[in-house]
Amino acid sequence: MAKDFDAIRPLLLEAVPRAMHSQKFSGPVSILRIYFWDNHAPKGYLSLWTVSDSRRRQIAAKHGKDAPSVLWLSGENAPDGRVDLPMEGWPHPQDEELAASLQSVHRLVCKDSNKYMLGYRKLLQEVARELNKRDWSKIAEVTDDFVVVPADGDQHFGGGEDYDDIVASVPAERIRLLEQRGFLGPASRWERLP
């Protein structure tokens, strides 16, 4: 198990920024969610869903105090951009290796999702944490509070785990900035503004 997860980490650290760099955005991106799937997925893949700053502001205006739940609950589906990994039509030498690694992880999850999904989620939290340390302004147009966070696409963990993914992936000072700007509630009621 650890071997499969260890093999995919450096591939994702290269592929996620490359996928973002390949996309055309109409304005700055504020959120990148890395959606992962359990054994309900037809194959091993990840989906990168983006929320632009303008979309985030629309959500905040429309949903008011409930805006954080729309922005962060993985079942709410608030993106305005999406690309799947491995990317089709963008051949890169590492895409075949990434596809094989994702398929290997998918086989593990299909074999025993209760055993392997937690490790998969922790891997993606680690990848997101590392990606959140990077200077994304060299990769894509992003806001100063841009974050990368995993998202449980099948609600395998029963939902409500989104805040745990945020805290495990995003630096504390950026979480405070999102709270100050009204895009994330306080820890006790993170999905709703005070």
Give tens-digit pLDDT for 136-158.
999 999 999 999 999 987 767 77
Residue 158 neighbours by CB distance under 10 Å? 7
128 part of a folded domain: yes
Q: Is residue 41 part of a domain?
A: yes
pLDDT of residue 50: 94
Q: Is residue 184 part of a domain?
A: yes
Give phi and psi for 121, each to the nearest 5. Answer: -60, -45
Q: Which residues, listed in sequence order, are joined to residue 152 by a DSSP beta bridge?
A: 36
* Residue 42 within any structural domain of the chain: yes
174 found inside a domain? yes
Q: Which residues of the chain have pLDDT under 70?
A: 1-2, 77, 89-92, 155, 159-160
Residues 6+ apart with CB under 8 A from 88: none
Question: Residue 168 has which token pair?
Answer: 């495990």
Cα distances (Å, whole numbers) of residue 62 to 55, 66, 122, 180: 10, 9, 33, 19
Question: Which backbone phi and psi does 182 adopt, to 5 degrees?
Answer: 80, 25
Spatial strand order in the sheet of 142-152: 81-85, 46-52, 29-36, 142-152
Domain with 30, as residue range(s), is 2-189
Residue 90 has a pLDDT of 56
Q: How many separate domains does the chain show?
A: 1
Inside any domain, residue 194:
no
In a domain, 27, yes or no: yes
Classify residue 182: in a domain, yes or no. Answer: yes
**pLDDT at 135 (0 to 100):** 95
Q: What is the pLDDT of residues 50-66, one digit of tens each?
A: 999 999 999 999 999 99
> From the CA atom positions of the chain, what is the Rg in Å?
16
